Chains A and B, each alone.
Chain A
């Protein structure tokens, strides 16, 4: 790794650790190797969103050309959000692409992701299915996102209706996450989800 990238991460690392957001348990960064190329990020779901109470883990890969090019970030924790792939965790966020600026840091990236959880941009979607649900049935979207937060990110809101429907599909031999993804995509319509899974 180029020296400047490692030096930068070392300095930033101190900044993130010291910053006040950490004290409030809102963001966190952990080193995964000695060469400062792979890190684990964590953000808390923002209050007054379906993600509240959840803890979302991120994979951060620092390229050799950092900070002249952005870090590569994706969600490891499964999440239901128009700008994040519900399958791969890939993120659609301008500052991680062409709007990156060399003065930005891991701290600003994590805070921007937290802001993205508060304010989705369904017109610039990463996950078309989620984005359509967000635009056509906001209540259904919020219910689904809250359920995913509960199951995958440790959120507090249990939805027994969702759990019941998933159990029905699991009993038919469908894998738990597959059942959840199908039901989520079809607005928790058990019949249509079953149809799609067995077609």
Chain B
């Protein structure tokens, strides 16, 4: 087992003709990914908007220590819990040692790519809500697209994030619009 990992390391370091050189290089690479607070390899890594790397538990504790003065521990730029980006490396899916006291690491925020064909003035795009004001199958088409609103998107944002809240809000608005529209149709 040991010999296998050793050979893998050698391969990763290149031709492996000079051992000490490759070791130094490995060390440098490791330091690149050290948490700026505990100086150990960052676990549950997050990056601030100013680009500084931390373990999430370390950064969280720093922010808790000085709630009135939330600055980056390295460059003293203003930071906040909501504005850190989690780093998901390959094989980072297994959650190791999630500390009980520490809240879960903030989720990454996915922004949908700009849609190719969108109505001017409406930014909802073609995978969401079509403003199908056709006369023919109008009420039905209107309804299905409204009801499918959430499902037709490729990925719903995780619960609790800003995006999730916005989507909830939008879908509520469209539901109300639909109800008002139908009420108007009936009265007419």
Contacts and interface: CB of A to CB of B under 8 A. Distances in A.
Interface of A: 4, 7-8, 11-12, 65, 67-69, 98, 101-104
- Interface residue SS majority, chain B: loop
Contacts of B76: 101
B69 A98 contact: yes
Interface string B16-57: 000000000000000000001111100000000000100000
30 contacts: A4-B38, A7-B38, A7-B40, A8-B38, A8-B39, A11-B39, A11-B40, A12-B39, A65-B65, A67-B37, A67-B38, A68-B37, A68-B61, A69-B65, A98-B69, A101-B72, A101-B73, A101-B74, A101-B76, A102-B36, A102-B58, A102-B62, A102-B65, A102-B73, A103-B36, A103-B37, A103-B52, A103-B73, A103-B74, A104-B73
B87 interface: no
B71 interface: yes
Nearest to A3: B38
Contact residue range for chain B? 10 to 19
Contacts, number: 35
Nearest to B74: A103
Contacts of B73: 101-104
Contacts of B69: 98
A10 B103 CA distance: 28
B38 to A, nearest CB: 6
A7 B40 CA distance: 9
Contact of B65 (A8, A12, A68, A104): A68
B64 to A, nearest CB: 8
A67 B65 CA distance: 10
B175 to A, nearest CB: 47
Given A68-B61, A68-B65, A102 B37 contact: yes
Contacts of A4: 38, 58
Contacts of B72: 101
A7 B52 CA distance: 21
A12 B39 CA distance: 8
Contacts of A67: 37-38
A12 B61 CA distance: 20
Q: Which of A12, A65, A67, A104 has the most CB of B within 10 A?
A: A67
Contacts of A104: 73
A112 to B, nearest CB: 14
A103 B71 CA distance: 11
Contacts of B65: 65, 68-69, 102
B79 to A, nearest CB: 11
B42 to A, nearest CB: 13
